[in-house]
Amino acid sequence: MLCLSLVDISLTSNWLNRPYIRICLALLAFMLVAAVGILAISWQTSQGLRRDTGANLQQSVRLVDMTLDNAAIATSAVENLIGVPCDASTVQALRWQVAKVPNVRTVNLYHQNTIYCASLFGPRADNISTDKYVGGRLMLMSGNSVTPDHPLIAYRHDVNGSGVVVGVDGYFLHNILSLLSTHAYLVLQVGDKWMDSKGMIHTGEGWPDGERMELTSENYPYAIRLVIRPSDHWSYVFDYATVSLVLFPLLSLFIAFMTYSLLGRVGSPTAALKEALEKKQFIPYLQPVVDGTTHELTGVEVLMRWQHPQSGLIPPYQFIPLAEESGLIVPMTRQMMAQVRDQFGPMAAELPKNFHFGFNICASHFKDLSLAEDCKAFIDAFKANPINLVLELTERELIEPSETTHGLFNALRRMGVLIAMDDFGTGHSSLAYLQKFHIDILKIDQSFIGRIGTDALAGHIVDNVIDLAKRLQMIIVAEGIETQTQVDYLAPYQLEFLQGYFFGKPVPPAEFIDKWL
Ligand code: C2E
Ligand code: CA
Ligand code: CA
């Protein structure tokens, strides 16, 4: 309820920090960054993949050309033997090429449709289907009579119906394919036959799905064709974009988290308090406390106000609960103590003797060791005419005893700081509690004073509270005095101090000085 009223003041219609809007916007930010990441990665990889496979395509044509060049060298070397009888020296010359030229497995002479001289067997009469040679020069074969399971390419050099046929080992060719097919399916195509990177010979179609590329050799009648399959994209991403793959989801998460938390901060009530603190919008109002008998000024209670640029003066019940919850009450109180110190310190001599300043301190502040330093600085500012510093802690919010709080209370006592129990009668402080924290002053809650003169029972309760306070032998302040009746009713009790609108409302320091000093 209290927080809501603060929200009303500072962010009348700030819908951005509603939880579901924050979650939606964070999700949106996540998806946006993730989408950009996916687009960037896929664009980068498809570019890289195309570039790399294109280079592989050219490289494989170059290597296959080089292999076939060797076959051409062997054929040229024995060209002069075409038509020569297949005697021992001819066979020897053919074998010499097999031994000398790389990649070449067999060298054979043919006349019309018959091989008549082979490097392996010498004179022979094997059929040769010259019409099956693509471009009259190349034929892809899954094997021959010697090695039926071993693929090879036959290279033919024809001179008027006779010529040389050289067998090139398929091993070299599918090795080339296999080495260059890291991120694509690569084949060597001759006519309607093709060899895959495992050395298998196929006919017709039957390729995997994907993006296709092809490069035809300028020197021989074959082409290298490749297919980039979807799986190639993924393997390329894993090989070359691992960092982006890890980075983008992390970045998306980070940005989503930042969006969520920043939206929470922008315009949140706590942010509004923080900003107000930086702009020094929390200012002290001073209410006089008077002597119980003479009604002369004896001190003040410092009450915080928020001087809001749009909403004007905001009373403490609208922001103190959130300030306490967020921990901002500590710097806010420190700032206010400093303001009062700087304003009244220089005019210490003009204050009545034994004047006291009361500050409201919340329970959590008693865990902060800076409190002792601030109190010391405050007291030291009034050396010219020493004052009493009173810290008021409310009975509704009891302090838990701990080593820190005890140390702090002892330090404060040594400095002469007085501790007042505010709103006495509304909480549950026991005698033991009052003694443990060395309470010096009891401020009887205004709800009791307000009941004076209303009915007989109310009078009875007031009598009892004052009686209890008197028996505890502490200095007593009656708060919330508004009428002469109340003053008269309390007179016989001879309370030390009185406070209330009857004597003076809380006012800004300048007005207080004007009126009272
Ligand atoms: P409180 O400490 O009990 O302060 C007394 C409150 O009663 C003040 O309200 C004061 O204006 C009001 N009051 C004084 N005389 C009369 C009177 O004759 N009749 C009536 N009806 N009211 C009277 P205020 O300034 O609105 O402060 C409300 C509460 O906010 C304070 O109660 C205190 O608990 C808290 N507060 C104010 N300033 C601070 C601060 O600097 N720090 C902390 N932690 N709490 C503060
Ligand atoms: Ca108080
Ligand atoms: Ca009070």
Phi (first) and psi of residue 282, to 5 degrees = -90, 120
Residue 13: per-residue pLDDT: 38
- Residue in 324, 433, 338 with CA at minimum distance from that of residue 368: 324
What does R_g of the chain's alpha carbons equal in angstroms?
Answer: 50
Nearest ligand to the CA atom of 289:
1
d(CA 28, CA 68): 59
Minimum CA distance residue for ligand 1 atom 20 = 480
Average pLDDT over residues 363-381: 94
Of 21-25, 263-267, 380-384, the poorest mean pLDDT is in 263-267
Q: Three-state secondary structure along 397-456?
A: CCCCCCHHHHHHHHHHHHHCCEEEEEEECCCCCCHHHHHHCCCCEEEECHHHHHCCCCCH
Is 390 in contact with 358 (CB distance < 8 Å)?
A: yes
Higher-pLDDT residue of 74, 245: 74
What is the pLDDT confidence band of residue 16, given thresholds at 50, 70 and 90? low
List strand residue ranges (DSSP E) for 112-210, in order. Answer: 114-118, 122-127, 138-141, 152-159, 162-169, 185-190, 193-195, 201-203
Average pLDDT over residues 231-245: 87
Tell whether the model's pLDDT for residue 348 goes beyond 90: yes
Strands 356-360 and 388-394: parallel
d(CA 295, CA 289): 9
Tell whether the model's pLDDT for residue 394 goes beyond 80: yes
Sequence letter at residue 242: T
Tell whether the model's pLDDT for residue 4 goes beyond 70: no
pLDDT > 90: what percent of the chain?
70
Q: Label residue 414 exposed, middle or buried (CB < 10 Å: 0-12, 13-18, 19+).
A: exposed
pLDDT, tens only, 112-154: 989 999 999 999 888 988 889 999 999 999 887 777 888 999 9
Q: What is the DSSP letter of 311?
A: T
d(CA 335, CA 329): 10
Minimum CA distance residue for ligand 1 atom 21 = 480
- Looking at the DSSP bridge assignments, the partners of residue 155 are 138, 166
C-alpha 405 to ligand 3 mean position (Å): 22
Q: Label residue 152 exposed, middle or buried (CB < 10 Å: 0-12, 13-18, 19+).
A: buried
Residues 6+ apart with CB under 8 A from 381: 341, 342, 344, 345, 348
Q: Which of 2, 303, 394, 503 to mutate to test the pocket of ligand 1 (most atoms within 8 A of CB)?
A: 303
Tokens linked to 412: 């404060």
Q: Counting atoms of ligand 1 from 1, which one is nearest the CA of 362?
A: 44
CA 125 to chain centre: 80
Phi (first) and psi of residue 163, to 5 degrees = 170, -160
Q: Counting atoms of ligand 1 from 1, which one is nearest the CA of 394?
A: 34
d(CA 447, CA 224): 98
C-alpha 259 to ligand 3 mean position (Å): 42
- Residue in 259, 245, 244, 246 with CA at minimum distance from that of residue 27: 259
Is 141 in contact with 173 (CB distance < 8 Å)?
A: no
Q: Give residue ranges with CB within 6 A of ligand 1.
A: 287, 303-304, 315-317, 320, 329, 333, 336, 360, 362, 392, 394, 422-423, 446, 480-482, 500-501, 506
- Residue in 380, 461, 472, 379 with CA at minimum distance from that of residue 420: 472
Residue 11: per-residue pLDDT: 42
Is 111 in contact with 161 (CB distance < 8 Å)?
A: yes
Backbone conformation region of residue 432, classed left if phi is above 0, alpha if psi is from -120 to 50, else beta:
alpha
| Cα angle 351-357-360, degrees, rounded to a multiple of 5 | 165
CA 285 to chain centre: 43
Average pLDDT over residues 309-319: 93
C-alpha 398 to ligand 1 mean position (Å): 18
Q: Label residue 483 exposed, middle or buried (CB < 10 Å: 0-12, 13-18, 19+).
A: middle
Residue that is written with structure tokens 């309370």 in the block: 495
pTM: 0.60
What is the pLDDT confidence band of residue 464, given thresholds at 50, 70 and 90? confident
C-alpha 514 to ligand 3 mean position (Å): 25
Q: Counting atoms of ligand 1 from 1, which one is nearest the CA of 482?
A: 18
d(CA 186, CA 171): 15
d(CA 246, CA 225): 34
Minimum CA distance residue for ligand 1 atom 27 = 316
Residue 435: per-residue pLDDT: 83
Minimum CA distance residue for ligand 1 atom 25 = 303
Residue 369: per-residue pLDDT: 87
Coil, helix or strand for 95? helix
Residue that is written with structure tokens 């001879």 in the block: 494
Q: Counting atoms of ligand 1 from 1, which one is nearest the CA of 315?
A: 26
Q: Counting atoms of ligand 1 from 1, which one is nearest the CA of 332?
A: 41
Q: Which of 290, 302, 334, 360 to mutate to test the pocket of ligand 1 (most atoms within 8 A of CB)?
A: 360
Is 107 in contact with 94 (CB distance < 8 Å)?
A: yes
Q: Counting atoms of ligand 1 from 1, which one is nearest the CA of 285?
A: 25
Is 77 in contact with 84 (CB distance < 8 Å)?
A: no
Residue 192: per-residue pLDDT: 92
Average pLDDT over residues 37-48: 90
Coil, helix or strand for 42? helix
C-alpha 443 to ligand 3 mean position (Å): 6
Helix axes 19-77, 170-180, angle to 10 degrees: 160
Minimum CA distance residue for ligand 1 atom 23 = 480
CA max distance for the chain? 152
Strands 114-118 and 122-127: antiparallel
d(CA 272, CA 301): 26
- Looking at the DSSP bridge assignments, the partners of residue 140 are 153
d(CA 429, CA 419): 14
Domains and CATH numbers, the chain: 14-266 (no CATH), 283-516 (3.20.20.450)
Q: Counting atoms of ligand 1 from 1, which one is nearest the CA of 445?
A: 3
What is the pLDDT confidence band of residue 268, given thresholds at 50, 70 and 90? confident
Is 168 in contact with 71 (CB distance < 8 Å)?
A: yes
